[in-house]
Amino acid sequence: MRRKVLLVTVIVLLVLSNAGTYMIATGRVPWLHARGELPSGTPETQAFFEVLARIQQQFVDEGRASDIADLVRGATAGMVDSLGDPYSVYLDRDEYERFQTSNISGKYSGVGIEITGQDGYVIVIAPIKDTPAYREGILPMDKIVAVDGQSIIGWPVQEASEVIRGEAGTAVVLTIRRDGVPQPFDVRIVRELIELKTVQHKILEPGIGYLQISAFREDTAYDARASLEALRREGMKVLILDLRDDPGGLLDRCVEVAGFLVPEGVVVTTTYRDGREEVHRVSGAGLGLPLITLVNGATASAAEIVAGAIQDRGAGVLVGTRTFGKALVQEVFRLPDGGGLKLTTARYLTPSGRDINRDQQGGGGIVPDVVVENLATAPGDPRIVLDDPEDARNIQLHRALELARGHLTASP
């Protein structure tokens, strides 16, 4: 499948180069022609036309050979996949509609995980709280090596996502490879309609507020502001912000949330390949209260922007483990065929200028001020509930509570 997609990618690129065709003739992509990156009359273009002719004339499945639209869609996906960036994907019409629905409404049918790709593996960034995957014990950094017995090693992330998702009420079996566990094991998960509520809050103890953000979507900033106002009314003197297992989301929403927490100044700087920089600032006094922020290896992307701003600006203390290290920004473009392109267009730097993007060896991320590991759980054990201080395994939350109590004691 992967080989076919990449082959067809070459075909479409060469069609554009040799003929100039419709797009160049109408000036829609004139920069390709002007820069001379798609020369015509080369051996490669000649080979393309021979391959195209042989496919159309001799490929055993005439229906597939003659479906140019399907070939072009496959080529488009292969073109994006050839970038080697797990965060850049082509979405066909149906995939784009599902993507838009899940990001705007927060609803989709599936198991409730955020995934990425690394070294040919599909890796769980985080299970989403109170979803089937979360309840069945899927953990950050689990590798999904098969779905319903079919290996997905080497698959693009978008293809893997499509087979993991499915109609609510149906079951899917994920084969998991987990660090520290000798053999891969199967987890059977019944899909549900996932309704993402990204913000939750409570008073853990008198004076100690707790705000958990599980992702940054359209309504996250509005809900976070409302939660903070409610916690203040309930007597909050110290805030524990929980960004553990938060895979990120929308840049503008995380910047808005950061504005509730850090005082006036820089939150993040995005840098583009042409050297252009865009500095994202906030105004206001920030939280104005002691702030303790929980992070872990599944704190990624937009969540790391907030954590990095808190740490660099001295607005609070980070507690937990090194974050994921995804310092890349994606934009989503609507395409003429009704599909979409999710493309990495920028990198980001924390306010102090740090590039926290992980490298091939797993380096990067944000190291918290207070490093604390939770107790490990074995497959089949009940998972640690992030906001449960009664669970003795939840050492990170217990340490955050100790620090919060210290602030209350020190207050006049």
Q: Which residues are catalytic?
A: 301, 312, 326
For residue 263 the two structure tokens come to 């005082």
Distances (CA, A) of 382 to 26, 227, 305, 393: 60, 28, 30, 11
Distance separating alpha carbons of residues 87 and 117, to the nearest angstrom: 8
How are beta strands 328-334 and 340-349 bridged, if at all? antiparallel
Which contacts qualify for 397-403: CB closer than 8 Å, 24 or more apart? 397/240, 397/242, 397/294, 399/319, 399/370, 399/372, 400/240, 400/292, 400/294, 400/319, 401/204, 401/205, 401/208, 401/240, 403/292, 403/317, 403/319, 403/370
* Alpha-carbon dihedral sign for residues 234, 239, 244, 249: positive
Phi, psi angles (nearest 5°) of residue 297 = -65, -10
DSSP-assigned states of every residue in 209-238 = EEEEE--B-TTHHHHHHHHHHHHHHTT-SE
Query: In sequence order, what are the beta bridge partners of 193?
Result: 109
144 burial level (CB within 10 Å; 0-12, 13-18, 19+): buried
Distance separating alpha carbons of residues 129 and 110, to the nearest angstrom: 13
Half-sphere exposure of 275 (CA within 13 A, CB side): 0
